[in-house]
């Protein structure tokens, strides 16, 4: 290893220094805090997800509460009510409902925060072992500091980001479960640097760790989960470190007795907490519109108060000055000043028209709707005991307004339980997906675990005869080119894979005689038809959604060097050497597999000379040590090796549709929801799956390639619906055509078609008039870009649904994100707004719960605004009889209790239980869902009608009692009680109506 002066670390960007067993260096630089102020370099390891302390709870919660416009408005009303000159109501009339709102919200925040604090305390008290001068001593997570050396036992959660120094496993390997980081439940291996493994395992490990004084220079804390750059300086040498040497906080140690690690990042500096970020609160269209309504009501209130104040001034000038009693009451105040005072008085008097309890009731109804979703037994999946779950309480009504559904395919529409069904090797296709699966004769294979659904004995016979080198090489590649972990149970190997594809391929190779046995840092052990062989592992680059391929470079038992590669067909085909045999027959097999809706991967090999290996290894080392453009340089080095490949064959894996997917998509299409499927599969596979799941009709015309490009680019093209609403009509200067259409676009074409806002707008406009859209060969980043494209060029609510970590960006970008509890872990669910166990439950979630929530929320809002405005507007008509003096019509306590007590229960029942039709009728008549998409139940026109009706009701409430009682010898209180009772009865009866 090259020696390196630590003073040069700043030049490389590695400025984070960690000294092992040197707390006198780190402790003075520890991060400290007081209230909102923090200073220091190294964070402590305390988990702090709570927001408040006993000292900050009251000021912080009041600050948050009064950031809401309604609360701040009523605070001003309370202040004005304390001014005797303008107070028309006692201060407690408004203070009572305001305090109720503040206390309820504050209590909710406090309970939530106490729950977080209890959860944090449990985490902070988790046990761990820290090395001290006396050896390892028991401690807690909160005591962990940068530079400590920890001992982690099997099944313990890693408390901080650690550099793995050594383990009790051979070659200092260890296995970790990363479900809390990437959502994948499959195990991954990590390995200590060679230098620490060699030195620390040469004797008693814990005794050798006591004098360990290595220094790590690495990058500053960041949120890049899959990247780490650092150097270990020890005994005068520097050793490169990468992410494979790191154990990240939140991962769980599995299948390994004990590991020892050096703490690099703690607490808020750890990579998992750096990824938490700030919570983005999603607001619905209805909530945003409601805020505008409230502002409008306030503006109208101010306008009416101003008009009544002008009326007061005119009345005082023309009438009051001529009547001795009124002149005495007015005193020395001028009419203008009297009107000015009454302006503020009327603001106080009319303030109940702006409903302060609206938001609390709104939130309560949302919570109950979420509970109803979780309680629905028809969205409970017994197989994994997963009920439906609403992970947010603010998006319920938007479930009834979804216009675009953007769905992943694998694991979302399909089961993601992959079966090896066919393969093509050296131009020959093996297996028949249409035939019944016949059990193969595998009695010769002592490692067979069963479960292989493959029906071609010819392949087994050819393997046993060893007369086809390409076939032998093909299965050697499947047994070596992966990152699978092996675990032995009952004398048989069981596999933990990072993806279902890898597991299916390695299991198929095992059943057919190529058994992956174990791996170490630099070797792979495989049993090939009963002969155990050891391959020296020189380099491996794992599969990624960006590269869409992986390779392993090994030294074979006979001393040769070979590169095995597997990946997407378009990626592998363009890297084949000229004249590669069987290329044409392989491409034909790819088309045939795609027609059968099978997922395909190409497998290739390259023989590498010693000179090529030495040159490439040197270039790789140089790129790995680069300080700038490191990732680009590494990619260029990889490209140098991944060329001149020889095609071995193609694997074909079946991924069956989930139960109920075709019926669900068909119902959603009838409901007016535009369904887009975003997949990484090739076009032919995606199209056939589209037909199978009823995304498209059998007679649907596919718009793709050059025809689609012409439709989007030609300024003379006009696209419109045919009158049957099922066919698309487009016309140009030369033609006029009509057909049912669906758009199919490749990921490579998508970037070109949407590179300008104008093209993106035309693309979305065209897609809105088609049956559906299939986006093939798209990356996770492109999925999020497509969702953003639809949001920008369409006013409809977008919903994204997926099951894997690669769907997270898409789920977070959409208005509503749905995560499926699939086999790829829980990352999609953790980032989703709603969680389901099966895609088919989406039908009930939208057509039943979504539609009900939309209708209930709309009815609730209309009724709430109606009952508060008609109640408050009575004061306007009463002003015509009291000389615009801003006297209240009602008793003080009635004003305080009208909304929070007398009329609270009916509106809550309306928002929680109202149903126009049953759940079964909603499912049988999906076209009723279009009401929400068109916003027919709550829009400016409906709102204006509601407010006009409330004005009409207020006129009736006031003038009929006045007309009846004015000729009777009754006092003012009788009139007030009559109007009060009329208001309560009218509001209650209107709710039933």
Bridge partner list, 72: none
The residues pairing with 834 across neighbouring beta strands, listed in sequence order, are: 390, 818
Residue 315 exposed, middle or buried by CB count within 10 Å (0-12, 13-18, 19+) = buried
The Cα–Cα gap between 774 and 463 comes to 39
Q: What is the number of residues in the chain?
A: 993
CB atoms near residue 892 (< 10 Å)? 12
Distance CA 980, CA 650 (A): 80
Return the bridge partners of 494, or none: 487
The DSSP letter of residue 227 is -
The helix or strand, by DSSP H or E, that contains position 4, with its residue range, turns out to be: none
Q: Name every residue whose Cβ is closer than 8 Å to that of residue 636 and which is 6 or more positions away in sequence.
A: 623
Could you tell me the end-to-end alpha-carbon distance of the chain, in angstroms, rounded to an integer?
A: 84
Q: Report the distance separating Cα 586 and Cα 583, nearest Å.
A: 5
- Answer for the pair 486, 518: CB distance below 8 angstroms, yes or no: yes
- The distance of Cα 97 from the centroid of its chain, to the nearest Å, equals 37
Q: Determine how β-strand 492-496 pairs with β-strand 485-489.
A: antiparallel
Q: At how many degrees (to 10) do helices 610-624 and 630-641 cross? A: 170
Edge-to-edge strand list for the sheet holding 135-140: 135-140, 127-132, 149-153, 258-265, 161-167, 246-247
Its sign, for the CA torsion 141, 142, 147, 149, is: negative
CB-based contact 839:664 (threshold 8 Å): yes
CB 681 within 8 A of CB 777: yes
CA pair distance 161, 16, nearest whole angstrom: 13
Look at phi and psi of residue 250 and say left if phi exceeds 0, alpha if psi is from -120 to 50, else beta: left
Question: Kindly report the CA angle at 243 between 167 and 165, in degrees rounded to 5?
Answer: 25
Measured CA to CA, the distance from residue 827 to residue 465 in angstroms comes to: 46
DSSP state letters, 168-223: SSGGGEEEEE-HHHHS--SEEEEE--HHHHHHHTSS-HHHHHTT---EEEEPPP--
- What are residue 155's phi and psi, to 5 degrees? 70, 10
Listed residue (605, 692, 602, 682) closest to 641, CA to CA: 605
Active site (catalytic) residues: 408
Q: Rounded distance, CA 48 to CA 43, Å?
A: 12
State the Rg of the chain over Cα.
Answer: 35
Element (H, E) at 376: none
């Amino acid at each position: 290893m090259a020696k390196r002066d630590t003073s040069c670390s700043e030049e490389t960007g590695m400025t984070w220094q960690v000294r092992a067993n040197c707390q006198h260096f780190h402790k003075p630089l520890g991060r400290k805090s007081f209230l909102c102020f923090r200073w220091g370099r190294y964070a402590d390891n305390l988990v702090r997800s709570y927001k408040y302390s006993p000292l900050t709870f009251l000021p912080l919660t009041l600050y948050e509460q009064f950031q809401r416009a309604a609360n701040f408005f009523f605070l001003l009303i309370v202040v004005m009510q304390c001014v005797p000159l303008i107070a028309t109501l006692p201060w407690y009339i408004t203070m009572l409902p305001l305090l109720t709102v503040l206390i309820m919200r504050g209590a909710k925040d406090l309970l939530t925060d106490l729950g977080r604090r209890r959860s944090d305390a449990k985490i902070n008290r988790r046990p761990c072992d820290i090395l001290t001068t006396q050896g390892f001593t028991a401690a807690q997570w909160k005591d962990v500091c940068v530079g400590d050396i920890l001992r982690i036992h099997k099944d313990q959660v890693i408390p901080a980001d650690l550099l793995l120094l050594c383990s009790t496993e051979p070659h200092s390997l260890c296995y970790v479960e990363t479900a809390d980081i990437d959502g994948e439940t499959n195990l991954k291996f990590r390995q200590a640097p060679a230098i620490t493994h060699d030195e620390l395992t040469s004797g008693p490990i814990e005794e050798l760790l006591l004098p360990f004084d290595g220094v790590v220079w690495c990058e500053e804390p960041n949120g890049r989960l899959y990247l780490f750059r650092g150097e270990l300086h020890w005994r005068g040498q520097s050793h490169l470190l990468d992410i494979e040497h790191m154990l990240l906080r939140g991962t769980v140690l599995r299948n390994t007795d004990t590991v020892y690690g050096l703490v690099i990042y703690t607490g808020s500096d750890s990579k998992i907490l750096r990824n938490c970020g700030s919570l983005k609160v999603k607001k619905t269209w209805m909530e945003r519109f409601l805020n505008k309504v409230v502002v409008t009501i306030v503006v109208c209130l101010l306008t009416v108060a101003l008009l009544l104040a002008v009326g007061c001034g005119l009345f005082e000038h023309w009438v009051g000055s001529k009547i001795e009693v009124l002149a005495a009451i007015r005193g020395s105040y001028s009419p203008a000043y009297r009107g000015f005072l009454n302006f503020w008085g009327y603001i106080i008097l009319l303030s109940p028209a702006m409903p302060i309890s609206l938001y609390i009731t709104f939130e309560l109804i949302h919570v109950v709707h979420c509970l109803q979703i979780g309680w629905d037994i028809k969205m409970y999946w017994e197989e994994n005991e997963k009920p439906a779950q609403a992970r947010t309480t603010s998006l319920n009504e938007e479930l009834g307004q979804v216009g675009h559904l953007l769905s992943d395919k694998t694991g979302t529409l399909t089961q993601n339980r992959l079966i090896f069904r066919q393969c093509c090797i050296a131009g020959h296709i093996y297996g028949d997906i249409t035939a019944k699966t016949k059990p193969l004769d595998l009695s010769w294979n002592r490692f067979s675990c069963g479960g292989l659904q493959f029906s071609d004995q010819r392949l087994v016979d050819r393997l046993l005869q060893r007369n086809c080198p390409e076939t032998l090489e093909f299965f050697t590649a499947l047994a070596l080119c992966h990152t699978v972990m092996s675990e032995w149970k009952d004398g048989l190997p069981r596999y933990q894979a990072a993806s279902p594809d890898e597991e299916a391929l390695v299991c198929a190779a095992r059943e057919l005689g190529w058994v992956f046995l174990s791996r170490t840092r630099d070797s792979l052990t495989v049993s090939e038809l009963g002969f155990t062989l050891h391959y020296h592992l020189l380099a491996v680059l794992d599969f990624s959604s960006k590269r869409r391929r992986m390779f392993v470079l090994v030294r074979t038992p006979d001393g040769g060097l070979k590169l095995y590669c597997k990946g997407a067909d378009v990626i592998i085909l363009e890297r084949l050497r000229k004249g590669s045999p069987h290329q044409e027959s392989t491409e034909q097999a790819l088309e045939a597999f795609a027609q059968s809706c099978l997922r395909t991967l190409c497998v290739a090999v390259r023989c590498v000379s010693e000179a090529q290996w030495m040159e490439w290894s040197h270039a790789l080392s140089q790129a790995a040590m680069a300080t700038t453009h490191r990732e680009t340089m590494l990619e260029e080095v990889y490209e140098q090796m991944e060329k001149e490949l020889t095609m071995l064959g193609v694997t074909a894996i079946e991924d069956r549709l989930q139960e109920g997917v075709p019926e669900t998509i068909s119902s959603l299409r009838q409901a007016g929801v535009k369904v887009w499927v975003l997949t990484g599969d090739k076009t032919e596979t995606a199209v056939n799956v589209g037909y199978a799941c009823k995304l498209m009709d059998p007679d649907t015309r596919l718009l793709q390639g050059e025809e689609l490009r012409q439709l989007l680019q030609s300024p003379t093209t006009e696209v419109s619906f045919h009158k049957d609403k099922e066919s698309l009509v487009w016309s140009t200067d030369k033609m006029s055509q009509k057909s049912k259409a669906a758009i199919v676009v490749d990921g490579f074409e998508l970037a070109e078609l949407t590179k300008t806002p104008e093209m993106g707008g035309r693309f979305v406009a065209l897609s809105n008039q088609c049956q559906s859209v299939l986006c093939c060969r798209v990356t996770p980043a492109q999925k999020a870009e497509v969702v953003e494209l639809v949001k920008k060029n369409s006013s409809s609510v977008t919903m994204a649904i997926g099951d894997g970590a690669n769907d997270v960006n898409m789920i977070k970008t959409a208005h509503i994100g749905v995560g499926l509890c699939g086999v790829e872990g829980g990352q999609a669910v953790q980032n989703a707004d709603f969680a389901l166990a099966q895609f088919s439950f989406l039908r009930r979630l939208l057509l039943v719960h979504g539609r009900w929530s939309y209708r209930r929320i709309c009815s609730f809002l209309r009724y709430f605004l109606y009952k508060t405005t008609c109640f408050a507007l009575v004061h306007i008509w009463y002003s015509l009889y009291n000389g615009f003096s801003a006297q209240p019509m009602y008793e003080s306590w009635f004003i305080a209790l009208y909304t929070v007590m007398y009329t609270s229960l009916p509106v809550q029942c309306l928002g929680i239980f109202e149903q126009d039709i049953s759940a079964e009728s909603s499912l049988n008549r999906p076209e009723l869902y279009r009401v929400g998409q068109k916003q027919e139940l709550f829009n400016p026109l409906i709102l204006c009608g509601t407010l006009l009706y409330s004005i009409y009701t207020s006129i009736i409430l006031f003038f009929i009692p006045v007309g009846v009682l004015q000729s009777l010898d009754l006092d003012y209180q009788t009139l007030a009680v009559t109007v009060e009772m009329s208001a309560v009865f009218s509001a209650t009866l209107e709710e039933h109506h």
